[in-house]
Chain A
Amino acid sequence: MDIRNLQGYASFFMTIFLVVMLYGYIVHLYRSEKKGEKDYEKYGKIALDDEVTSKPIEGDSHTKNESEEHK
């Protein structure tokens, strides 16, 4: 088998792999929302409530808020 055939097969199987990954991601998104582990739609509000003084939708333990609170 020459290199061009190998490239063709590699491309084909990588495509299949990535398709499975992508569909897996869809299932993951909907399943984790159904189980109540995540609420993805709340992130849409980040664009609407975006003042520098607004309360973050999801605060980060490593970010300024907390470090400022510790001061």
Chain B
Amino acid sequence: MQSNAALEYDYSVAKLFTYTTILFGFLGMLIGTLIAAQLAWPELNYLIGEYGTFSRLRPMHTQIVIFGFTLSGVFATFYYVGQRVMKVSMAESPFLMFMGKLHFWLYFVGALAAVITLELGMTQSKEYAAFEWPIDVVIVLVWVIWGISVFGLIGIRREKSLYISMWYYIATFLGIAMLYLFNNMSIPTYFASGGIGSIFHSVSMYSGTNDALVQWWYGHNAVAFGFTVPIVAMVYYFLPKESGQAVYSYKLSLLSFWGLMFVYLWAGSHHLMWSTVPDWMQTMGSIFSIVLILPSWGSAINMLLTMKGEWNQLTENPLIKFMVLASTFYMLSTLEGPIQAIRSVNAIAHFTDWIPGHVHDGVLGWVVFMIMAGLFHMAPRMFKREIYSKKLMEAQFWLQTTAVVLYFTSMWIAGITQGMMWRAVDEYGNLMYSFIDTVAVLHPYYAIRALSGVLYLVGFLMFAYNMIKTMTSSRVLTEEPQFRSPMA
């Protein structure tokens, strides 16, 4: 081991992805806040002509937060956690270092092209899979390169056993690869129409119910393998490391992993309840969604029990607060989702604002909180400086927690009100309300949601400011902290 005395982990790729996490996080949440406000005050649709309408911006919001913010966070944490749990430095392999940097730059160019084309209205009009085929090709290339990094690093590891986080990162890689390829099978309209269409604009190779099934198999599992699996990978590393407590039960983590892999892929058809897909498939989606509570809660409870006997850290360390709240929101949204997948509940919830309410208590409370906590933990180790401000972090925590609560409570009320009004009939069986009646009733809740967006965005700016100050002007650390991250 003598030759390794001066060897250090190389965080250059992790740093690059950290920057894009902050950049795309801000952009995605800014657009999200704007479109939330547009729903409350429609005149905001006409600020910059066609480029600022809800229909143009909404796909941008979803794609940027999924493929920009979240994936950047996944890559940043992978290039950090992957090295550490396998006890191997990127600096040991010039090839992997090159692939890592190629991964970043190709990703960045692809992401910019994706943002620009969506803003220009170029889309294949599939939810969460809006990019036209040339961008899909770039995404596939980026993914293959990431795969080379993942398995390349595994190939030169010192730690024989793969830590549970690595299992989750591998599952992210394999899951998204399979989903993305199948759902984006499309054909340019030029070829489909015998030469009168466009070479860049494509339509799905599937049609009708088949298209819907593949789309929601993809859509739901994009949530699984983009918003759940890699975030679980993060919490399994960052919470134990920050708290100094080994994961409560490693066996439970393995069991939850296989449970999640087994169940999640079958639950997507709950998005198509009361539609034209086969009845048994709707039932299967509903049952698997309910069973999904078990592996989800298995991981979340494992995290909370990891803090057993160390709950004092919750009051002393705001980073622990972020992670414990993230785990709690994971429990909340993985209970709420299955409830919505019960047929009778779904009859009210489907197409209402309760659905975005559910999505956002998951993403704002769980995904974003966990990614921010991961980056906060990494910052003192990557930049060798202490975190700039603990007070700012505390303030950000409370501001964003308030924002999440305002978001999901307003959308719960709005969604259930909407669902009930749509179904209400008078004594002769006539519908009691027209669509615009519901819009009038929901206006205050839309305004509350827009406010919660502003609060969350301000919180994210506080995070960005704290990170930038940590990178540039915080106190320099002489040695790497072992567990708890130092903060001023």
Residues of A within 8 A of B (CB): 4, 7-8, 11, 15, 18, 22, 25-26, 29-30, 33, 40-48, 50-54, 56-61, 63-65, 68
Contact = CB atoms under 8 A, between A and B. Distances in A.
Contacts, number: 105
Given A40-B254, A52-B7, A54-B87, A46 B161 contact: yes
Given A60-B157, A63-B158, A65-B1, A44 B240 contact: yes
Contact of A8 (B158, B254, B280): B280
A59 B160 CA distance: 5
Contact of B244 (A29, A48, A63): A48
B240 A48 contact: yes
A6 to B, nearest CB: 12
Interface string B228-246: 0000000011001100101
B160 A48 contact: no
Contact of A41 (B7, B250, B280): B250
B387 to A, nearest CB: 20
Contacts of A44: 240, 246-247, 250
A56 B160 contact: yes
A6 B20 CA distance: 47
Given A44-B240, A52-B9, A59 B254 contact: no
Contacts of B241: 47-48, 50
B192 to A, nearest CB: 26
Chain B interface residue bracket vs A:
35 or more
A3 to B, nearest CB: 11
Given A22-B258, A63-B158, A65-B158, 6 more contacts: A11-B284, A29-B251, A44-B247, A51-B87, A52-B84, A64-B92
A52 B157 contact: no
B159 A46 contact: yes
Contacts of B254: 29, 40
B210 to A, nearest CB: 12
Contacts of B266: 11, 15
B300 to A, nearest CB: 17
A51 to B, nearest CB: 8
B262 A48 contact: no
A43 B255 contact: no
A64 B158 contact: yes
A52 B246 contact: no
Interface in B262-279: 262, 266, 278
A46 B240 CA distance: 10
23 contacts: A7-B278, A18-B262, A22-B259, A29-B251, A30-B251, A33-B251, A41-B246, A41-B249, A44-B240, A47-B163, A47-B241, A47-B246, A52-B4, A52-B8, A53-B7, A56-B87, A56-B160, A57-B159, A58-B161, A63-B156, A63-B160, A64-B92, A68-B1
